[in-house]
Amino acid sequence: MEFFEYKNVVIESPNSLEAEAYRKLELNISMKATANKLQVIQCTSATPEDGKTTTCINLAAVYAEKKKKVIILDFDFHRPKIHRAFHKVNDQGFYDYIRNDVDYHDLIVHDESGIDLLLTGKHLSFPHIVLGSQKTRNMIDSLRNEYEYIIVDTPPVLSVTDASIISKIADGVVYVAAYNKTKKDDSKEGLKQLRDNNANIIGGVLANVDVRKTKGYHGYHYYSDSNRQDQ
């Protein structure tokens, strides 16, 4: 597998068009949050490697930049990557809360960026059962009192049921598609599955757009879900 360094453009190149596109995503989310508070925000997509984790880390960085208290939960137990994006060791995390009853406060990693992280820790079997459990809900309910924003990284919708299960706990879902990669039919099917689960789709991100080649697009393009009902 090819090794790459995750790029948090909001932190590493705050003046770039890409960083600005993530700020626009945050702005759009805040505008959607008029009646209902959007506090627990899930990022997902149809298929692997669409840019879910990249979206999570950059959106969290926008909140941190605004001095908001933010935590990322790595709820992708199939391909956990948040530790890699922040150069942390994934030696403890959600697994220890679930299986060993460790106080989750003791498992939270504080990154120097101001972003807190709850990593996966050891491999968790049957994550779909665990994620639908009362214990998971209890933790999220408590985190709601401790953080202004909780960003949840999840696996692809078409691979496993985990993302659909988490969408019931999340206040809103940011749906990611990779430009020139995610197949349109897959993206539609994933969106349909989320909608069938009554997920609140708060918008989408078109990731992997090369600003140099694609005139008119920003690095990460936000699109609203409101006009996609019939697509």
Ligand X SMILES: Nc1ncnc2c1ncn2[C@@H]1O[C@H](COP(=O)(O)OP(=O)(O)OP(=O)(O)O)[C@@H](O)[C@H]1O
Query: Whole-number minimum distance, CB 169 to ligand X, in Å?
Result: 19
Closest CA to 41 of 199, 192, 211, 218: 199
Distance, in Å, from the CA atom of 193 to the CA atom of 46, rounded to the nearest integer, reads 9
| # of chain residues touching ligand X (CB under 6 A) | 16
Reading the block at residue 6, the tokens are 């995750």
Query: Whole-number minimum distance, CB 15 to Mg ion, in Å?
Result: 26
DSSP string for residues in 45-77:
ESSTTSSHHHHHHHHHHHHHHTT--EEEEE--S
Residue 167 site contact among ligand X, Mg ion, none (CB < 5 to 8 Å, cut-off depends on kind)? none
The β-bridge relationship of strands 201-207 and 221-223 is antiparallel
By CB under 6 A, the residues from 90 to 149 that bind ligand X are none
Distance, in Å, from the CA atom of 180 to the CA atom of 106, rounded to the nearest integer, reads 41
- Binds Mg ion by CB under 5 A, chosen from 52, 83, 218, 221: 52
- Confirm or reject binding of residue 6 to ligand X (CB under 6 A): yes
Q: What string marks each residue from 65 to 84 as x (binds ligand X by CB under 6 A) or -? A: -----------x--x-x---
- Confirm or reject binding of residue 90 to Mg ion (CB under 5 A): no
Query: Whole-number minimum distance, CB 8 to Mg ion, in Å?
Result: 14
Which residues of this protein are in contact with ligand X, per CB under 6 A?
Answer: 4-7, 45, 48-54, 76, 79, 81, 156
